[in-house]
Amino acid sequence: MDFIDLKSQYRRIQNSVNTRLQTVLEHGQYILGPEIIELEKQLADYIGSKHCITASSGTDTLLMALMALEIGRDDEVITSPFTFIATGEMIALAGAKAVFVDIDPRTYNIDPALIEAAITPRTKAIMPVSLYGQCADFDAINAIAKKHRLIVIEDGAQSFGAKYKGKRSCALSTIGSTSFFPSKPLGAYGDGGALFTDDDKLAKLMREIRVHGQDRRYHHPRLGINGRLDSMQAAVLLAKMEIFEDEVQARAQLGARYSSLLKDAFAIAPVSTQVVTPFSAEGNTSVYAQYTIEVPDRDQFEVRMKAKGVPTAVHYPVPLHQQPVFAGLGYKTGDFPISEKIASRVISLPMHPYLTEAQQKQVVAAVRESILE
């Protein structure tokens, strides 16, 4: 069994992928070719955003967004400590200070009720992460941002395709950022990412920053990076977009089935052995970038699952405030108790749109045995 099976998906879209890659090989515009323009239009339409700027990764997009907003030295950006390193890392790389705010124990996303206490005169932006495929509570976050005149940048690297109150992830705030890393809900065959905004000025700036801060050939009014997506990757993503909405539906159904199978499997088990299944906040759909549960004894669970031939992964074992690289921020263990507790309990099960019911039953049987036997 694969944790994420990209081969089944390739077999489904093989003709389209091969044809589109062949087209790139023939026209030879490997950088910012016609596929990029076509993809950006499609993605902007899909998200319901005015502009899409594709980019080299979902890490570079975060940096490009911060650079376009001129967030850097002496500025603070509020984010979640329970995320992939890139979120806090790019705030630091931009020269700003990451200020962490603990998470909601049910959704694992930043807890809006704790944000205001972290705002200082230096706060410039809030960067919520839509973890595991479910959006953070953007109505509450945007209301706080409006009151304090802050920008909101969504790290939607795991939530591309998810909906929050009828709108898509990445169209919920000033800037939305996503990743096309191969294992993400919409994955390329290499690195990639995209930025979304309705703001014309920010869109123009992010486009310039993507190409070394260049506004016309060899004329550079500002600093930028080499942040472009390749035409080859855009060709792959165009093929994947043909089936993406279908896969989003499949992910929702598979997630729901996992939860109901797990509920049945633990129906008569003692309370102390119960697993916690993903919580869907009202108005949210999840794309289950990860299907993540909480288990009582994770170390033992991991070993037992492995012995049964079921791959698992931990996203993420160490919250950012406990990472050595952020020691300089002065946080200590105990500062974000929910993040610390959740980081010690979560584990992700195999999840991709081509998982069969038989495979899910096998995974759930292994979960049950790993905990109860």
Ligand X SMILES: *Cc1c(COP(=O)(O)O)cnc(C)c1O
Residues that bind ligand X (CB under 6 A): 57-59, 83-84, 86-87, 129, 155, 157-158, 179, 181, 191, 193
- Residue least distant from ligand X (Cβ): 58
**Whose Cβ is closer to ligand X: residue 238's or residue 320's?**
320
**Whose Cβ is closer to ligand X: residue 160's or residue 266's?**
160
**Whose Cβ is closer to ligand X: residue 131's or residue 262's?**
131
**Whose Cβ is closer to ligand X: residue 67's or residue 129's?**
129
Query: Least Å distance between CB 142 and ligand X?
Result: 19
**Whose Cβ is closer to ligand X: residue 58's or residue 353's?**
58
- Using CB atoms within 10 Å of the CB of residue 5, give its burial: 0 to 12 exposed, 13 to 18 middle, 19+ buried: middle
Query: Least Å distance between CB 180 and ligand X?
Result: 7
Distance of CA 158 to the CA centre of its chain: 2
Query: Least Å distance between CB 147 and ligand X?
Result: 26
Question: Rounded distance, CA 320 to CA 72, Å?
Answer: 19
Query: Least Å distance between CB 135 and ligand X?
Result: 12
**Whose Cβ is closer to ligand X: residue 40's or residue 371's?**
40
Question: Rounded distance, CA 160 to CA 42, Å?
Answer: 14
Question: Rounded distance, CA 196 to CA 106, Å?
Answer: 28
Query: Least Å distance between CB 158 and ligand X?
Result: 5
**Whose Cβ is closer to ligand X: residue 136's or residue 371's?**
136
Query: Least Å distance between CB 350 and ligand X?
Result: 17
**Whose Cβ is closer to ligand X: residue 86's or residue 262's?**
86
Query: Least Å distance between CB 93 and ligand X?
Result: 12
Query: Least Å distance between CB 80 and ligand X?
Result: 9
**Whose Cβ is closer to ligand X: residue 155's or residue 247's?**
155
Q: How far is CA 98 from CA 77, 85, 132, 145, in A?
A: 5, 12, 21, 16
**46, 171 contact by CB (below 8 A):** no
Query: Least Å distance between CB 136 and ligand X?
Result: 11
Query: Least Å distance between CB 88 and ligand X?
Result: 10
**Whose Cβ is closer to ligand X: residue 231's or residue 370's?**
231
